[in-house]
Structure 1
Amino acid sequence: MDLVLIRHPAVAIEAGVCYGQTDVPLRDDVHDLADALTARMRALNVPACVDGWHTSPLQRCASLAHVFSADAHIDARLMEMHFGEWEGRAWDTIDRALIDAWAGDIEHARPHGGESLAQFAERVLKWFEDTCVDREAVHVIAHAGVVRVLAGHLLGIARESALQWALDFGGIAWFRRVRGKWFLVRWNA
């Protein structure tokens, strides 16, 4: 099985703003973005999408997924982590003590009132378990947090480590399962 995870392209919001589940649009034309992504996937020899496109319902993901398939599977479990009271705020305006408390227990702390990393991961992994059994090739357009949580899970790496991996807007992470074991084919391609 091939699992192709694509982070949504750049969004039309100021840099440095916490936007988790805030529904923000893409910065550039969705059809131009789809053309560029298609060309990149061809150049990388990414397998064709056999088992459908899956996407977060947030417009920065869903608008692109719908260019690839009018029947894209929309699933709220693929949404980014919910940052509660921090949503829509510039990171540098959030009390540093709250950010430190969150970093001190990244797995369970929720100083923002939204989801903990554990809650977020549980939601994303439930999607994976429900969707990626007995499939040939699933393509997903989602968020950096979703891609990193799935990467950590598939490769047996601690979530807090996987969360540190650089992943560009529009970055492709391609995984392949061979004889029951997952391998990373491409990261941030």
Structure 2
Amino acid sequence: MDLILIRHPAVAIDAGVCYGRSDVALADAPPASVAALEARRLELPAPDSVWSSPLTRCHSIAAPWAARWAREVSVDPRLQEMDFGTWEQRRWDDIDRALLDDWAADLHHARAHGGESVAQFSARVETWFDERQTEAGDACVHVVTHAGVIRVLTSLALRVSLEQTLSWSIDFAGVVWLRRREPGAAWTLVRWNV
């Protein structure tokens, strides 16, 4: 099974703003964003299925991406970015430093913002991943989603800590390719942030 994770392109929001689950627009029109992704000549295997977060910045890319291979898009809310509650649409620099420090001190369980904890977010994403792992060994699944979801999925697949994947850079429109040769086998990282 190949799992191709595509981060949405750049968004039309100022740098340094927390936008997690907020439905923000892309910086460029979706056709231009898809064309830029295609122009990178990533030589990815064709998808048997295409999945997407329901947020506009992902779904508006997933639909034309899937159409390239005459596929439909399956939209799943479990593929949305983490809900940052009251921090959504606020500049990170404007959030009380003590709250940020408390969150960092208990990364997996703190919810100072009132949204999801990292543990809740990870568990949500894991349910989607567990269902996909029942796919046939040679299936190829493309997923247009968010950096946080990509990090959680990579952590689960490679059995490394989420803290480790948080330190790995992933660009807007970056692609991560994970592979498992057969059901029950170990996952391997084919490409990161290409």
Verify the 8 A CA contact 1:132 1:138 in the aligned structure 2: no
Structure 1 SS opposite 2:18: coil
Give the Cα separation in 1 of the matches to 2:57 and 2:134: 27
Give the Cα separation in 1 of the matches to 2:133 and 2:11: 28
Corresponding letter in the other structure for 1:35:
A
Verify the 8 A CA contact 1:152 1:158 in the aligned structure 2: yes
Tell me which of 128, 133, 137 is aligned to 2:140.
137
- Tell me the C-alpha RMSD between the 2 structures: 1.1
Look up the match of 2:85. Answer: 84
Verify the 8 A CA contact 1:20 1:83 in the aligned structure 2: yes
Look up the match of 1:122. Answer: 123
Verify the 8 A CA contact 1:3 1:175 in the aligned structure 2: yes
TM-score of the superposed pair, with normalisation by structure 2? 0.92
Corresponding letter in the other structure for 1:61:
C
Look up the match of 1:8. Answer: 8
Give the Cα separation in 2 of the matches to 1:108 and 1:118: 6
Bigger mean CA offset, 129-138 vs 52-61: 129-138
Runs of 4+ aligned structure 1 residues displaced above 6 Å come to none
Within 5 Å, give how 1:21-60 maps onto structure 2.
21-40=21-40, 43-50=41-48, 52-60=49-57
Verify the 8 A CA contact 1:77 1:127 in the aligned structure 2: yes
In the TM superposition, what whole-angstrom CA distance separates every residue of 1:13-42 from its partner, at most 9, and x where no partner exists? Answer: 0110000000001000211211221232xx
TM-score of the superposed pair, with normalisation by structure 1? 0.95
Answering whether residue 167 of structure 2 is matched by residue 164 of structure 1, we say yes
In the TM superposition, what whole-angstrom CA distance separates every residue of 1:57-88 from its partner, at most 9, and x where no partner exists? Answer: 00000010111236210100000000011000
What count of residue pairs does the alignment treat as equivalent? 186
Structure 2 SS opposite 1:108: coil
Tell me which of 48, 63, 72 is aligned to 2:60.
63
Look up the match of 1:100. Answer: 101
Give the Cα separation in 1 of the matches to 2:60 and 2:134: 26
Gaps of 5+ in 2: none
